[in-house]
Amino acid sequence: MPKGSPLTLRPMDADERRMVEQIARSQSTPAMIVGWARMLLAVDDGTSFTEAAQCGGRRRRQTVAMVVKRFNAEGLGALVPRAKGRPPVQYGTEEAERILAEFRRTPTLEQEGTATWSLSLLQRALRTAPDGLPHVSTWTIFQVLHAAGYTWQQSRTWCHTGTVKRKRKGKIVEVTDPETERKRG
């Protein structure tokens, strides 16, 4: 819309008007949405955008213009807040599988300098691998391992949650807790 062109609210039908009035009176709806509804009602009653902004608890008429423009295009959908704030996901299932594949590989003493993975060593290995992830963070690695059911143990090892190794009759046996998934929530 060109700057300076007049913006008018399209006529509300009776059902829309009733719903907007109900939202404007609501005690449980978020204040931002109640404010938008009050602004729409004020503009529908013939007040200026500046006065409508004050009715909705705002200062700028540009906020009213935004709500009116959305209402003209979407109807009552204009009173539904849009999602915002989260950055796009950079690492999907392929990258998570790559992290888990590297994690499952036993580190070599010559190459990594250790026999067990730490987050920073795993990060270094993933960043330097030819098919690795050059910008992966330790937080992302931690989240992937945790989602796969691994936890960090005091012995500086990663263990699959619910699985432990026990010594039974002179042999090492792997014992799995059948209630693991239920306990994790």
pLDDT surpasses 60 at 1: no
Predicted local distance difference test score (pLDDT) of residue 2:
42
Helix/strand/coil (H, E, C) string of the chain? CCCCCCCCCCCCCHHHHHHHHHHHHCCCCCHHHHHHHHHHHHHHCCCCHHHHHHHCCCCCHHHHHHHHHHHHHHHHHHHCCCCCCCCCCCCCHHHHHHHHHHHHCCCCCCCCCCCCCCHHHHHHHHHHCCCCCCCCCHHHHHHHHHHCCEEECCCCCEEECCEEEEEECCEEEEEECCCHHHHHC
Quick check: 37 and 64 in contact, CB under 8 A?
no
Q: Decide: pTM greater than 0.85.
A: no
Whether the pLDDT of residue 10 is over 90: the answer is: yes
Assign 159 a pLDDT band (cuts: 50, 70, 90): low
The better pLDDT of the pair 111, 120 is held by 120
> By percentage, how much of the chain surpasses pLDDT 90?
51
User: Distance between CA atoms of 68 and 40, rounded to whole angstroms?
Assistant: 7
Q: Is the pLDDT of residue 132 over 90?
A: no
State pLDDT tens for residues 42-61: 999 999 999 999 999 999 99
Predicted local distance difference test score (pLDDT) of residue 185: 67
